[in-house]
Structure 1
Amino acid sequence: MSFAEIFTVVVPVFLVIAVGYGTGRRALFDAGGAQALRELTMQLALPAALLLSIWQTPRHVLVDQLPLVGLLAFGLLGVYAVLLGVLRLAARRSLRRAALFALACVQPQYAFMGTSILGGLFGTAEAAVPIAVAGILVNVVLDPVVLILLGMPDHPRSRAAVATEAASAVRRPALVTAGGGPLAQATAPLAAEAASSEPRSSILRTVGHALREPFCWGPVLGLVLSVSGVGLPEVADASLTLLAGASSAAALLYVGVSVARIGRPKLTPAVWAISLTSVVVLPLLVYGVGLTVASAADAAQAALIVAFPVSPVPLMFAARHGSTEDVRTIGSAVVLSLLLSFVTLPLLIGLVG
């Protein structure tokens, strides 16, 4: 593919993002408007596009995608685990900051930009499979794990203190009797059960919430229908096609509006490190590993999925669980990686062919 053809695919995407950025700067979309664009994309349009494309994909084509699943699991989950360990042990970052920064390095904007760029390169139906696989890995595995890590104390002593407080909280009502008998003998088992069940219930609750999102169950439903051989009714085809048509424009406008709300990036070493890892190091690593263990086509698709700029999701996590400095760093990385990707994406597309 020539660079003229590559830019024909890439440039319109960035022009629509620029339109979203302009509307955000002019305050045509406030916080509620930006959230509405995101919900339209993630709750309606993109799930419809993925459901339709996977449903139309023949069963044997889906079976052939297992190497791609492994490559994406390596790029999204395996690399995250390595970066978390490096940031935590070698760089001496706190657990919370290490979890956030590692997530920013590996979670790309595949959901917002992937449909337009990958669809233009490979076709909408073929691009839907890697996007759906990445969505399941991120939403069902990676993000819930990160949320659990963000809820953990940074030091073991803090956890012991929390357990002690929980135990004492359970013991206090032991002075009260229930059914005519004292509860003192039951306080220790109750405290242990509360301490052990809290993380488990948190994990299950987070995963259960992710599975209820249309962005997760839509592709799974399409996979079930395709594998079971259920034909696509003409009415469903037409309806899903109309709804899916809104996914690309709404997603790209949301990217532009969200960048406008972040403002000018602060170019610290951490921001450069996150941005370059996201759009250069990670895709090249995945592509190199893919050429070794899988086909060139699978390596190219996996590399392009992880080559998109930093997702706004780590920024949302930082706003809730991190410090002001974390928010500033990850927000700046979102903006810088988007600017860098205008150059890195065409170069990577030219490299993978």
Structure 2
Amino acid sequence: MTLISAFVPIWILTAVGYAACRQGLLGEAAAAVLGRFVFHLAMPSALFLTLSRMPLSGFAARSMLAFGVSTAAVVGAGWLGSSRLFGRGRGERPVWGMVAGYVNSANLGIPIATQVLGDVSFLAEVVLWQVLVVTPMVLVALDRHRNPAGRVRIRRIASLPARNPVILASLLGVACSAAGLRLPSAADASLTLLAGAAVPTALVALGASLHHASPSGAEPAALAAITALKLVAQPVIAYAAGLALHLSAPQLLAVVVCAGLPTAQNTFIIAQEYGVGEAVANRAVVMTTTLSLATLAAAVALLG
């Protein structure tokens, strides 16, 4: 029952977004407007506060290496497989990679880590890895696709943090943590209010997008492949890497559980912002979130 309690709010808020659009309460542009609010305001606030309050010392290097290997493997498989197996264009490939390997480390990761692992220390490292390594890599590729010339330019990459609120907020958060800086109370309270809206608004936007999305936007075979990469391949690779690195039983459990978390709803928000891969992203979030209840329970039973 402890795992179920972590999943129920996600299902409810996604259903609320779907029902609200179905009843015409939010208008035709609801998913786009809510998504832009999350991408430009709420998500950067949440990332800044999370990273600015996170200590940058005492990392579990071997555990993070095992998790990083699993992420790189499935992101690469999703990225390449989208082209070679499903014929997706260059712009959509980064979204497929992110959907396959970017875990829900916030609204699902925190309660699950608390209930199953007893603490969120390793999860904090996962957040840093995804925000500072995986997200910029994907956004650089998407930014390249948006560039009419389709080329990677050093000046354009260097200016990406200034043009992308997600990367800018993450870098500022890490800088504040490293310097030991704290915001004035009024600024902190304002950002906290915005940050609190990120997860529920993203889930409502996700539900709204499911109502408007074309049924042919994500083929069953593609969705099945991404789901298998996320819920089966990633935790299995993490387990194998953990064994090779001689992790202890608690470390191995933490790595596998975090790798087995479902696709984060942030992937849909990013896909929506760049206008590519939205159908596969929203369905993958719903599918992996639904099925991960069973796969995570199995992982805990086998390793716990």
The structural deviation recorded for 1:208 is 2.7
Partner residue of 1:259 out of 210, 213, 216: 210
Whole-Å Cα distance in 2 between the matches of residues 149 and 67 of structure 1?
34
TM-score by length of 1: 0.65
Out of 21, 36, 40, which is 2:18 matched to? Answer: 21
Given that residues 101 and 234 in structure 2 are in contact (C-alpha distance below 8 angstroms), is that contact kept between their aligned partners in structure 1? no
Alignment correspondent of 1:138: 134
Alignment of 1:182-221 (within 5 A): 199-201=151-153, 204-205=155-156, 208-221=159-172
In structure 1, what is the equivalent of residue 221 of structure 2? 269
Give 1:348 shift: 1.5
Q: Which amino acid aligns with 1:348?
A: L
Q: 1:142 to 1:261 in 2, by over 3 A?
A: same
Q: CA–CA distance in 2 between the matches of 1:57 and 1:31?
A: 39
Partner of 1:285: 237
1:250 partnered with 2:201 = yes
* Cα gap change, 1:210 to 1:23, in 2 (>3 Å): farther
Hey, which of these two has a bigger chunk of helix by percent? 1
Deviation at 1:8, TM superposition (A): 0.7
| In structure 2, distance between residues paired with 1:66 and 1:8 | 31
Give percent identity, aligned residues only.
21
Structure 1 CA distance for aligned equivalents of residues 62 and 262 of structure 2: 16
1:116 equivalent among 107, 114, 118: 107
Which ranges of structure 2 fall in alignment gaps of 5 or more residues?
A: none
* C-alpha spacing 1:260/1:292, structure 2 compared with 1 (3 Å): farther
For 1:278-301, what per-residue CA distance to the aligned partner results, in whole angstroms no more than 9, with x for missing partners? Answer: 333234323442454353365146
1:311 aligns with 2:291: no
If you compute each CA radius of gyration, which structure gives the higher value, 1 or 2?
1
Deviation at 1:340? 4.6
SS at match of 2:92: helix
Is 1:224 aligned to residue 175 of structure 2? yes
Is the contact between residue 99 and residue 267 of structure 2 (CA under 8 Å) also seen in structure 1? Answer: yes
Alignment of 1:23-172 (within 5 A): 23-60=20-57, 63-64=58-59, 66-67=61-62, 70-71=65-66, 73-82=68-77, 84-85=79-80, 91=84, 97=89, 100=92, 103-107=95-99, 114-122=105-113, 127=123, 129-145=125-141, 148=144
> Quick one: distance in 1 between partners of 2:31 and 2:19?
13
| 1:12 aligned residue (9, 13, 34) | 9
TM-score, structure 2 length as denominator?
A: 0.74
How far is 1:342 from its partner? Answer: 1.0
User: CA offsets per residue over residues 93-123 of structure 1, 9 Å max, x none?
Assistant: 65x5477357415436968x54211232346
Secondary structure of 2:106 counterpart: helix
Q: Is the 1:108–1:310 Cα contact (8 Å) retained in structure 2?
A: no
